[in-house]
A and B are shown apart, each in its own frame.
Chain A
Amino acid sequence: MGRQIVHRLIISIPALVGVLFLCFCLLQVVPADPAMIIAGPDAKQETIEAIRLELGLDRPIAVQFLEYIGRVAHGDLGRSIISNKPVSEELANTVGPTVELMIGGLLIAVPIGIALGTLAAVKRGTVLDRIIMAISVAGVSMPIFFIGLILIQYVGYKWALLPFTGRTGPVWDGGLPSLILPCLTLGSVLIGPIARLTRTAVLEVLGADFVRTARAKGLRESTVVIGHALRNALIPVVTLIGLQAAFLLGGAVVTETMFSWPGVGRLAVGAIISSDFPTAQGAIMILALAFLSINLIVDVFYVYLDPRMQRG
C-alpha cells in the first residue's frame, strides 16, 4: 500500500507541472493586460508601461514561467497584483471553506445516495423503486444553480430558516447554519448519480452465487444486502464518488458564487476575471492538487475494498 501511494505521488508531480504550464500559457494568450487593469480605464500609456515593467510582464513567457516554477518550489506563490496580498495567505483563507463545502456535500450525498440506490435495488420494480429513480433523474437533470435558487427562495427567504449570504465562521465556531444550504445544494446534484449506480451495482451482486450462499446459510436479508451485497457493489460506486468529488470542485465554483461562500472557486474566478495571474495560478494549482489527491484517495479505497487490486 505504502509503495503504491509513493508511486502515485511521484507520477503526480509532472502532472501538476503540466497543469501549471498549460494554465500559465492560457493566461498569457488571453489578450488581457493586468497592467491596464491595475492602472484603471483612464490611465495614460506611460503609467501602464511602468506597471508592466515593474510586474515583469515585458519578459518572454518562458522566462516568466521558469521563474514562477522556481519560486513555487521554494514555497513562494507571489503576491496578488491586484490586492498585493500574499497568494499563499489568500489560499490558506479560502481552502478551508471549500473543503468544508465539499465534505459537507459528500456527507449529505453519499449516505443518501447509497441508501436510496440500495433501497431501489431491493424493491426493484415497485412504486418505491420508480419514485427513487425519478428523483435521481431529476437530481441529475437539474442544474446546480436552480437547486440553489429554490433553496434560497424557500428555506432562506420565505421560511427564513437558514442564512444564505456568506460564511459566518468555521463549523466549530457557530458556522454550521451558514454551511447547510450550500452543502445541500452541492450534495443534491450527487445524490442522483450515486443512487442510480448503487442500484445497478447492488442488483448485479444480488444475483451472484455468494449472495445465494449467504441466504442459504440462513442469514437475515438485511445482513445479506448490507454486509455482503453492498460491500461488493461499492467498488464502482467509490469510483463514481471519486470522479464526482472532483466534479464537486467545479460545482463548488457555482455554489460559492450563489451563496457568497469565500472559497477557492470564487478566488480563482475573481483572479481570472481581474487578470490577477499569481492568484489565478495559485488557485488553479490548489484545485489541481485537490483533484490529484482525490484520485489518490479513491485508489487507496479500491485496495481496501478489493485487496486483489494492490500492486505486486
Chain B
Amino acid sequence: MRLRRLLMTLLATGLALPPAAQANAQTLTVIRNIDAPNYDGVRTSAGATGEVLFMTGDTLVALDYDLRTIRPSLAKSWEVSADGTTYVFHLRDDVTFCSGKKFTADDVVYSFQRVLDKATRAPFIWRMGPAVAVTARDATTVEYRMSAPFSELLLNLTNFHATIVNKDSVEALGKDYGIKGMDGTGPYCFQSWEPRNQTIATRHEAYKWGPPVYANQGPAKFQRAIWKIVPEEAARLAALASGQGDMSYTMPDQYLPSLAKMPTMQVLHPEANLQLFYLGFKTTRENISDVRVRTALSMAIDRKQIVDAIYFGNGIPAETFIHPKALDYNPDTPKHLGRYDPAESARLLDEAGWTMGGDGFRYRDGKKLTLLLYGFAGGRSPKIAEAAQGFWRRIGVDLQLQMWDGTIVFSKLAQQDYDLWSISFPYSSAGDALRLYFHSTNTPAPNRMNWKDPATDAALDRGVTALDDATRFAAFAEVQNIVHTNALWVPLVHQGLALVVNKRIKGARAHHVYGSLIYKGLDFAP
C-alpha cells in the first residue's frame, strides 16, 4: 500500500503518465512487434513497410474486403486491350500529394519506372508483369504496355510496391527517401520515423479520394496515426489492455482468447486467412521421391490437434494449399492430403515397400525411413515440426529436425541436403501462390521442391496470360489438381490473422491486403 501511495503521490506531482502518453482520443496508436527496414516500397518486401505505406500513400487500384474485387483508387477507371497486353488508366484530377503538389500521370510513370528499373533491385518487380513501357498519354491518362498478357496485373497493382510517389521528393531525398521523409497521396502524411521506437503520420486534410471500399472517402477521422514498436509480447498485451495502444495484429495466439473476453477489446478477423503453414518436400531426395510416401506422410498428421494446441484455435486445418475463399481456388481440388488417416498412411508406405521393422521404424532394402527437416528456430515452427515428428513416429518414420536461426535459415534452405522444410507464406490469390512456387523456372528457390513438370508450367503460363476469368480459373484449377495429386507439400494450417482493437475505436473492420489488416483505416473513428 505504501508503494501504491508513493506512486499516487508521483502522479499527483505530475511525474506520472502525462496526457500525451495516454492513448490520445484523436490519435490512432497501432502497436506492432517489429519495425520496417525503411519506407520506400520499391526497396523492400517487408510487411511492416507496407502497413504504413497503405496509409500514407495510394495505388492506382484498391482491393476490397473480399480480397478479390478490384476497386478504383487513384485511377477512376481503366480499359484493357483485346490482346490483354495494354492497360489504359484514367486518373483522378483532384488528387494532391501531402506537399501540396498536384498528382498527374507523370507521377505514375515515374513511380512504375522506378520499380521496373533493374538498378532499383525492387524485390516485387515480378509483380509488375512483363512490362515494356509505361507512358503518359496526357496529364490524367497512363498507358501500361506489356509483352504478353498478365491476368493478375490489377491485383498486383494494389500492393504497396506500386504506391505512387512524388518524383521531386524522391530526387530531393535520394538515398534517404523513405528514411527521412516521403511524399504520398494517402490519408495520412509521413511526419517522422524513430527506428525501433515509433513512426508518426498526421492527417492529410485535403484527402477526399479514398477507394469505395470505405464509407468514408476522406479525410481520415483521426488527426494522427502512430505505429509504436513493442517487441516484448507481454508488454504488447499490457499496452493494449491499459489503453497505451489502440490496436495490434501482432498478438501471440495464446493471448487472443483472453483478449476476446475483455470488455474493452474486440478481436476481428479478415474474410480469409491467405497465409498457409506447410511442410515442403524436396522431391528429388531418394526417400520422398515416391508420391505414395509423400501422401502417406501428409495423411498421418491430425491438423486439428495442431490448430488447438499450437495455434490456440487461431487457424483452420488446411486440406488444400489454397484457402477456399481465395481467388481462383478450385473447389474440386483433391482433399485427401488433409485427411487424418494413419491406417491409410501405413498401407501406402507398405505399398511403397517401406515395411515396419521390429524397432518400430520402417525399412526398405535394409535402409531406415529417416527424413531431415529444416525450419525456423523461432515462432510456431519448432512446435509444429515436433508435432509432425510425433505423428510420423507412430507410422514408423524417423523425422530428424534441424531448426535454424532466422539469420541463416534461408542460406540453409538454399542447399539440397535436406528432405523437407517448414515455412508459412502469405499470398493474394491461387495464381499468386502457384506461379511463384511451382513453375520450373523458379528452381531451386522459391521452387524448393525441384518440381519440373511441363504440364504444370504450361497450365501456369496459360493462367498468367489468360484474357478472361474462366480461362484463368481453368488453368489454375488444373495446376491445383496436379500439385495436390503429386503431394508436393503437406498443407497444415491456414493461419489465422487477428486484429485486436480497443472498443473505443468505432468502425473497425479487418482487411488483409498483403498481410496488412488495417489497410487505409478510413472508417476507423474515435
Q: Which residues of A contact B (CB under 8 A)?
A: 30-33, 36-37, 39-45, 47, 50-51, 79, 82-85, 90, 93-94, 149, 152-153, 155-157, 159-168, 174, 176-178, 180, 257-262, 266-267, 270, 272-275
Q: Would you call B367 an interface residue if the criterion is a C-beta within 8 Å of the partner chain's C-beta atoms? A: no
Check B123–A30 contact: CB distance below 8 A. Answer: no
Minimum CB–CB distance for A79 against chain B, Å: 8
Given known pairs A40-B123, A177-B21, A180-B15, the reply for A164 and B238 (CB within 8 Å) is yes
Check A40–B45 contact: CB distance below 8 A. Answer: yes
Check A85–B38 contact: CB distance below 8 A. Answer: yes
Minimum CB–CB distance for A125 against chain B, Å: 26
Identify the 10 closest CB pairs spanning chains A and B, nearest first: A262-B197, A32-B407, A42-B446, A157-B238, A163-B21, A157-B242, A262-B196, A82-B37, A165-B239, A260-B230
**Chain B residues positioned under 8 Å from A161 (CB to CB):** 7-8, 10-11, 16-17
Minimum CB–CB distance for A288 against chain B, Å: 21
Q: Would you call B101 an interface residue if the criterion is a C-beta within 8 Å of the partner chain's C-beta atoms? A: no
**Chain B residues positioned under 8 Å from A260 (CB to CB):** 196-197, 228-232, 235
Point out the residue from A42, A43, A85, A165 that lies within 8 Å of B179, measured CB to CB: A85
Complex Cα distance, B228 from A240, in Å, reads 36
Complex Cα distance, B238 from A76, in Å, reads 41
- Quick one: which of B207-232 are within 8 Å of A by CB? 228-232
Minimum CB–CB distance for A8 against chain B, Å: 33
Check A165–B38 contact: CB distance below 8 A. Answer: no
Point out the residue from B38, B423, B445 that lies within 8 Å of A83, measured CB to CB: B38
Closest A residue to B410 by beta carbon equals A36
Complex Cα distance, B8 from A93, in Å, reads 33
Minimum CB–CB distance for B416 against chain A, Å: 13
Check A273–B38 contact: CB distance below 8 A. Answer: no
**Chain B residues positioned under 8 Å from A47 (CB to CB):** 121
Given known pairs A37-B410, A83-B38, A260-B229, the reply for A44 and B238 (CB within 8 Å) is no
Residue pairs across A and B with Cβ atoms less than 8 A apart, 24 shown, are A31-B411, A33-B411, A36-B410, A37-B410, A40-B123, A41-B446, A43-B445, A45-B444, A51-B121, A82-B38, A83-B179, A85-B195, A93-B194, A156-B238, A156-B244, A165-B245, A177-B17, A257-B232, A258-B232, A259-B232, A260-B229, A261-B197, A262-B197, A267-B195
Closest B residue to A31 by beta carbon equals B408
Check A84–B235 contact: CB distance below 8 A. Answer: no
Q: Would you call B2 an interface residue if the criterion is a C-beta within 8 Å of the partner chain's C-beta atoms? A: no
Complex Cα distance, B251 from A279, in Å, reads 29
Check B4–A159 contact: CB distance below 8 A. Answer: yes
Point out the residue from A79, A152, A275 that lies within 8 Å of B238, measured CB to CB: A152
**Chain B residues positioned under 8 Å from A275 (CB to CB):** 407
Check B16–A177 contact: CB distance below 8 A. Answer: yes
Q: Would you call B43 an interface residue if the criterion is a C-beta within 8 Å of the partner chain's C-beta atoms? A: yes
Minimum CB–CB distance for B440 against chain A, Å: 13
**Chain B residues positioned under 8 Å from A32 (CB to CB):** 405, 407-408, 411
Minimum CB–CB distance for B462 against chain A, Å: 22
Given known pairs A37-B410, A159-B7, A176-B15, the reply for A168 and B196 (CB within 8 Å) is no
Check A36–B31 contact: CB distance below 8 A. Answer: no
Check A177–B15 contact: CB distance below 8 A. Answer: yes
Q: Would you call B113 an interface residue if the criterion is a C-beta within 8 Å of the partner chain's C-beta atoms? A: no
**Chain B residues positioned under 8 Å from A258 (CB to CB):** 232, 235
**Chain B residues positioned under 8 Å from A84 (CB to CB):** 38, 43, 175, 179
Point out the residue from A42, A162, A165 that lies within 8 Å of B445, measured CB to CB: A42
Minimum CB–CB distance for B242 against chain A, Å: 5
Q: Would you call B455 an interface residue if the criterion is a C-beta within 8 Å of the partner chain's C-beta atoms? A: no
Closest B residue to A145 by beta carbon equals B232
Known: A32-B411, A82-B38. 19 other contacts (CB 8 A): A32-B407, A37-B410, A39-B123, A45-B445, A83-B37, A84-B179, A156-B238, A156-B244, A157-B238, A161-B8, A161-B11, A165-B228, A165-B235, A165-B244, A180-B15, A257-B231, A260-B231, A262-B194, A274-B37
Closest B residue to A163 by beta carbon equals B21
Check A44–B407 contact: CB distance below 8 A. Answer: no
Q: Would you call B414 an interface residue if the criterion is a C-beta within 8 Å of the partner chain's C-beta atoms? A: yes
Residue interface mask B413-430, A partner, CB < 8 A = 1: 110000000010000000
Complex Cα distance, B235 from A153, in Å, reads 8
Point out the residue from B10, B245, B442 that lies within 8 Å of A44, measured CB to CB: B442
Check A165–B175 contact: CB distance below 8 A. Answer: no
Complex Cα distance, B179 from A40, in Å, reads 20
Q: Would you call B20 an interface residue if the criterion is a C-beta within 8 Å of the partner chain's C-beta atoms? A: yes
